[in-house]
Chains A and B, each alone.
Chain A
Amino acid sequence: MQSSPNMLTKFESKSSRAKGIAFHPKRPWILVSLHSSTIQLWDYRMGTLIDRFEEHDGPVRGIDFHPTQPLFVSGGDDYKIKVWSTQTRRCLFTLNGHLDYVRTVFFHHELPWILSASDDQTIRIWNWQNRSLICTMTGHNHYVMCAQFHPTEDLIASASLDQSVRIWDISGLRKKHSAPTTMSFEDQMARSNPNQADMFGNTDAIVKFVLEGHDRGVNWVSFHPSLPLIVSAGDDRLIKLWRMSETKAWEVDTCRGHFQNASACLFHPHQDLILSVGEDKTIRVWDLNKRTSVQSFKRDTDRFWVIAAHPEINLFAAGHDTGVMVFKLERERPASAVHMNQLFYITKEKHVKSYDFGKSVESPPMLSLRKLGSPWVPPRTVSYNPAERAILVTSPADNGTYELIHLPRDPTGAVEPTDALRGQASSAVFVARNRFAIFNTSNQQVDIKDLSNSTTKTIKAPAGTTDIYFGGTGCLLFINPTSVVLFDIQQKKELAEVAVSGVKYVVWSNDGLYCALLSKHNVTIVTKTLEQVSTLHETIRIKSATWDDAGVLLYSTLNHVKYSLLNGDNGIIRTLDQTVYLVRVKGRHVYCLDRSAQPRILEIDPTEYRFKLALVKRNYDEMLQIIKNSSLVGQSIISYLQKKGYPEIALQFVQDPQTRFDLALECGNLEVATEMARELDRPNYWNKLGVEALAHGNHQTVEMTYQKQRNFDKLSFLYLSTGDQEKLARMAKIAEHRGDFTSRFQNAVYRGDVEDRIQMFKEVDLYPLAYLTAKSHGMTEEAESILETCGLTEDQIVLPQVEEPLKVAHPVVPTFKNNWPVKAAGHSSFEKALLGEVGAADEEAGADVFDMEEEEQEAVLARDTLEDEEEDASGWDLGDDVNVEEDVDFVNVESTDAGAGGSEADLWARNSPLAADHVAAGSFDTAMQLLNRQVGAVHFAPLKQRFLEVYKASKTYLPASAGLPSLVNYVRRTVDETESRKVLPIIPRDLEYIATTALQEGYATMRANKLEDGVSIFTDILHTLLVNTVSSEEGVDQARKIIASAREYILAMSIELEHRALGTDDEADLKRKLELSAYFTIPKLEVAHRQLALMAAMKFAFTHKNYASALSFANRMLANGGSAKLLDQARKIKTQCERNPQDKIEIDFDPFAEFDICAASHTPIYGGSPSVSDPFTGAKYHPQYKGTVCRISQVTEIGAPASGLRLYVPSQF
């Protein structure tokens, strides 16, 4: 027997003896009934006592939660059964009837029944809805210790000290009580006489089987959740397993091991296990199939009395002499590892599976690890090595074991691995492509091993190390209870240490720069050199964490998914209804494994943390994006922004003027503040604004706020200090009007206005002062007149000797004219981004007009370039045959006799009949030969650029030994190919590039009317396609379409360019011009572009009074449909022309005939007349141009014999 390494205690309580336990089916609650008459309600997750119920007298033995209703029931030694509400926490009613201790009480899973077992030797069924006793089962002739309903069928099992277990059939009772249709007389009879046989001798409950086998009293009995099995525990220290059929029941086996009375037992709800507890102070776990002990757990002093299982999650509770413990049998964290886009994990069946994040699909099982460790112990960790496609799995069984297994390339199901290498270790982790480290706690030693499992190096771990983790390339992290140490394997030395206690898991960020250390309640983020970045504390257990690509840590607690930024800011993202283990975040999806090791995807809203991250990184564009695209407002984000010192950003979110005002002041945005103050218009806001504006030196705003506040004194002083004499004078006027002499005096002083001062003194009868002022300013006349008024003479007054009166200084610079240079507030880069954004949006809107979808092109296929290539191909096949032998030769070389071999480029030329491949191989001459044969190429100069481009892209330069030139390697498009006869070069600017980029650029020039550029772009497209390869038949078709389309555009654009080059003065020129503008409408352009051509032609014809032609163009435009504006014009012109559908100048253009345009002369080739075409582009020419270079492609010879361009060889792909 093995002691219990896996029993994980989640909660323990201290109390008197616990006799009954019940789990709440949904909430993390547990009810414990105690020998001391109390019932406790605990939250075992938080470890808190929620409530106590103390209405029973004496010990309470039976307790049960209702599976769905907010009820629980208890039964005690006071003979009473009490039903309680979990909502009001009150006893609802009491069921009386038992005549002795009640041992157990249980709810029925669907009927409103309670089952009780009592020392009065009866088992009773009660209806809790009408609070009545509906059945009493007699038969046991000693205390009934336990009675339970069958989880699905109408059966009851009971255990009694009479040494028997009885199985009762209660289908009669159900019949009687289930939805009475018509209450017959018999029914009524039966109802009124419970527990008596009806007239046919049927009773409500009959004994179906009596199971005898225990030779002492039986304490407990339990049904299996799905199988017809029963388990019982007795004072004979045995756990007995029974099986039953429809007609009989028999003993299957006995589990021996308890060395004292066995008090209770049950089946594991999900696994083939039996759990039992006894007075020998042990909890024992048995294998249901082998009836052998799997593990046991012993308490030192406390006898166990009862055990209960959570109905859904993997939790058990056992009651003992001093309380209750809640535990689980095994770790539920599924072992998993993430690499790039793949998750590797081990299921409950111990199958290795992978999960593709991109496609969201699970792989079939790849391996079965059934034999790893012991059967009931799940693997603890898995480490993945992408280079070798191997996994390293550890299991805690047998003091820690590991296995190194290669994953099969093509999984064929859950097969046992054949090449597994094993060893003893408590931890094992890959540290490099071909190395892994294992750690043994027992000898504190780390062995570095290679992939053949042989030790290459041994390291003594720092004392107290409990676990190791990957520490970045070539490094390990040693975890000990108080710190984490970074260790360089190669140099064998400690690089850094960080004091973080109780670290359990280490999670590296995707870029390997940061790592999160998870302990039970803390997350510490450190850099890869173990410098602490931030730390945070959670009151609830932290389960797992993973990094967002942007460097945000997402972690899960028991009931939340949260985030933490590097700076420690954190918050809740969403709640969880069950514990999950995060493995990956991608956009709005959080990938995780649940406790049954199933991958799940959680939807989250990453807006908040993205925003905060953008804020920290000052990535204003992204913030803007977020603000625009989501409803990110609310007090929390505003206060966050304010707190973090970004009031100017918070300002963007706020509508409320008061908050806006405050924020604007905080960030010094006076404009906004003024605006808001106007809106609010209350003195204290003006005051605040004034103070702030003054601090800014923004005196214009200050002036306004003083005006608003009617703060004349300050206003005057402001005018004085800004030198605004005019306004100061006005202030004086105002003071005069207001009759405020103090103010008037002040203003007068400010202005140096002596007269006004004297005048004022006189008005307030302060003649002495008036006189003094006048006198001292040398205004003798004025002084005398004052004296006169007062009736005094000069000699009566003694004046002190005064010096020259002070002159009021005049402002040197009239600062009032301009505001002081103000701090450029209010244009943070964020706001600039906002403004910029608006601008960009406008431009976009403008561009949108021309945006058109890439529709299926109706370009005519160049029929004459179709596959007439037998001759050519066979020629090349011959070449291949010859080469085969050389290749064989080449491969078979065994001797070391030296001598250079052929380069890969040579192979390319041999392997492919496509011109592009020859170009890439540098074999320009053969490439030209091919092109000449395929499309009659004769003038190669325009292709030079393309040739060199393809060639340039064909090889890379890998620096190798110092002093020697770099190794040249050849870039392949067949990346997965190693067979030298199949390797082929990569060709830059492939079909996809042309279709998605170049073609669009070409169209854009058409829209933008840059025809010269357009011609060169489309010509370039033709050249690029000419030296190219495609990967499928569809590709060939698409390439043909693009060639045809490019041809039409080049033709159209050249016609229009010729049209533009001509003047209108000469009659002949005008005629030609009219013709050309008509021909411009003939090439098969995209509809939108043809409309442009038609428009131009129509207008031109109309202006030169060729109404008939104009009319035909207008009609064609209307037939094409499209933009309303264009159609309007067409309609107008149509009506105009219909009045006089005559052409003024006769032109060579028949709107009703089908014809092609000669690409050289730009004249029509009507159907039936002879023509020659270009073998590459298919452009048509008058016969006299045969043998010249095609005007469209500029490379090929018109009318040359050609087998057709080859871009694709089926066998290559």
Chain B
Amino acid sequence: MDPFSAEGELLNIHNAFHQGQYDNVIEFDTTALSPENQLPARVLKLRSKIALGRADEVLSEVSSEEDTPDLAATKALAQHTAGDADAALQLVQDLAENYPDNVTVQVLGGTVLQAQGHSEEALALLSKHQGNIEAVALIVQIHLQQNRSDLAVKEVQTAKRWAQDSLLINIAESWVGMRIGGEKYQAAFYVYEELASAPSTAAPLSITGQAVAELHLGRLPEAEAALTAALEKYPDQAELIANSIVLNVLAGKPSTDLESRLQQVNPSHPLLSDIQEKSEFFDTAAAKYSPKVTS
């Protein structure tokens, strides 16, 4: 049986992970799981810890079990997150060569490769998957990051044929939808709203998604309501802050407070670095012009 199918015992922990409920994943009671599912569940828990910024903890936890490719892949991800990019890359490339069929190696390896800008390698590794939704989602994301929404659409369509019900596919479809726009914004909004409104699935991830969809739909007051409520609950979520900045600018409100807050929470957030870069670009571009007569 496919461990991630609707009947599988990993469904709930899996869904929780992809909804961004990392705490729930870590606290998930895995003792009752069947032996073959113990390892995937453990990997999910480790990944949750990494996502919560506890990479060092993970590193020490798996240090003695590097023989298991799954755990080695986890280690690579932890190394990457902890900042040891070269070691991570090296490890991933080894793993990709030795265990290209291991699902965890594919997914985590793909993540590390993509994160370090080796998109081609990441795609090559991921394309070896045999019906793994996570791999599909990653492929979709890589395509989107490369601005190839056409390929992303195709990937989602193919996957929907065999995994229509999967939460992750639905979410991935929303990613694509948010890129395509038009009616797809609304469809994406529904997916996120459904997740955000149910208490069992609400997490910063889904609320951010909902708010972003509202933003794209031009429904600023609703987006603001969602973001404000979410920010109260999760004050340190960089993405929430970043999108709030966008919202405030759109609504003609000051955003400096939020920007300094983002600076604190995540100084390397793309929004900040991007603005910085553009600001310098502006100065160089503006320097080319000057009035004929300086008064």
Contacts and interface: CB of A to CB of B under 8 A. Distances in A.
A270 to B, nearest CB: 41
Contact of B150 (A891, A932, A1160): A891
A628 B75 CA distance: 68
Contact of A964 (B114, B146, B289): B114
Given A977-B181, A988-B252, A450 B198 contact: no
A253 to B, nearest CB: 54
A386 B145 CA distance: 30
A963 interface: yes
A1188 interface: yes
B289 A937 contact: yes
A953 B250 contact: yes
Contacts of A266: none
Contacts of A1160: 295
A65 interface: no
B218 A967 contact: no
Contact of B51 (A456, A951, A963): A963
Nearest to A457: B6
A977 B239 contact: no
Interface in A924-970: 924-925, 928, 932, 937-941, 944, 947-949, 951-953, 955-969
Contacts of B47: 962-963
A952 B254 CA distance: 12
Contacts of B208: 957-959
Contacts of A764: none
A1059 interface: no
A474 B198 contact: yes
B118 to A, nearest CB: 12
Nearest to B218: A975
B190 A433 contact: yes
B295 A1189 contact: yes
B26 interface: no
A142 B9 CA distance: 84
Q: How large is the interface on A (under 10, 10 to 19, 20 to 34, 35 or more residues)?
A: 35 or more
A612 to B, nearest CB: 26
B180 A978 contact: yes
A965 B178 contact: no
> Is the contact region of chain A dominated by helix, strand, or loop, or is it mixed?
loop
A986 B51 contact: no
Contacts of A844: none
A971 B239 contact: no
B244 to A, nearest CB: 10
A904 B178 CA distance: 12
B198 A953 contact: no
Which of A433, A472, A1185 has the most B CB atoms < 10 Å from its CB? A433
Contacts of B283: 944
Contacts of A973: 218
A983 B141 CA distance: 21
A976 B184 CA distance: 9
B275 A951 contact: yes
Contacts, number: 223
Interface stretch (A2-10, A210-218, A817-825, A894-902): A894-902
Nearest to B276: A948
B37 interface: no
A968 B81 CA distance: 20
Contacts of A937: 289
Contact of B250 (A473, A893, A941, A986): A986
B285 interface: yes
B252 A967 contact: no
Given A386-B190, A473-B194, A966-B239, A953 B249 contact: yes
Contacts of B246: 952-953, 955-957, 971
B111 A964 contact: yes
B286 A940 contact: yes
A559 to B, nearest CB: 37
Contacts of A924: 278, 281-282, 285
A971 B185 CA distance: 11
A941 B17 CA distance: 47
B153 to A, nearest CB: 11
Contacts of B129: none
Contacts of B82: none
Contact of A938 (B164, B279, B290): B290
A928 B51 contact: no
Contact of A1188 (B12, B243, B255, B294): B294
Contacts of B215: 956, 971
A321 interface: no
Residue in A901, A932, A986 with the greatest tally of chain B CB atoms within 10 Å: A901
A214 to B, nearest CB: 64
Contact of A901 (B137, B146, B255, B271): B146
A997 interface: yes
B120 interface: yes
A133 interface: no
A927 to B, nearest CB: 8
Contacts of A387: 186-187, 190
A163 B261 CA distance: 97
B270 A967 contact: no
Contacts of B183: 976, 978
Contact of A975 (B112, B149, B185, B239): B185
B205 A959 contact: yes
Contacts of B197: 473, 512
B270 A965 contact: yes
A900 B147 contact: yes
Nearest to B107: A961
B182 A969 contact: no
Nearest to B289: A938
A898 B204 CA distance: 32
Nearest to A1190: B291
B105 to A, nearest CB: 14
A1189 B51 contact: no
Contacts of A434: 164
B149 to A, nearest CB: 8
Contact of B194 (A433, A899, A900, A952): A433
A976 B182 contact: yes
Given A901-B147, A963-B50, A956 B243 contact: yes
Given A953-B246, A975-B218, A962 B51 contact: yes
Interface string B254-288: 01000000000000001100010011011101101
A131 interface: no
Contacts of B106: none
Interface string B65-109: 000000000000100110000000000000000000000000010
A938 B249 contact: no
A1212 B197 CA distance: 36
Nearest to A978: B182
Contacts of B185: 975
Contact of A967 (B108, B144, B187): B144
A456 B120 contact: no
B81 A963 contact: yes
A904 B252 contact: no
Nearest to B148: A901
26 contacts: A387-B187, A433-B194, A473-B198, A896-B151, A898-B146, A899-B146, A900-B146, A900-B147, A902-B147, A928-B288, A932-B289, A938-B289, A941-B286, A947-B282, A948-B275, A956-B212, A956-B246, A957-B243, A959-B205, A960-B141, A963-B80, A965-B115, A969-B212, A972-B216, A1187-B291, A1188-B291
Interface of A: 386-387, 432-434, 450, 456-457, 472-474, 490-491, 512, 891, 893, 896, 898-904, 922, 924-925, 928, 932, 937-941, 944, 947-949, 951-953, 955-969, 971-973, 975-978, 983, 986, 988-989, 993, 997, 1160, 1185-1189, 1197, 1200
Given A474-B200, A951-B278, 19 more contacts: A456-B6, A474-B198, A898-B123, A901-B148, A953-B250, A956-B216, A956-B246, A957-B239, A959-B204, A959-B208, A963-B51, A964-B115, A965-B115, A967-B144, A971-B250, A986-B218, A988-B250, A1185-B295, A1188-B294
Give 9 closest A-B pairs by Cβ, nearest first. Answer: A1187-B292, A1187-B293, A940-B286, A978-B182, A900-B146, A473-B198, A901-B147, A1188-B295, A953-B249
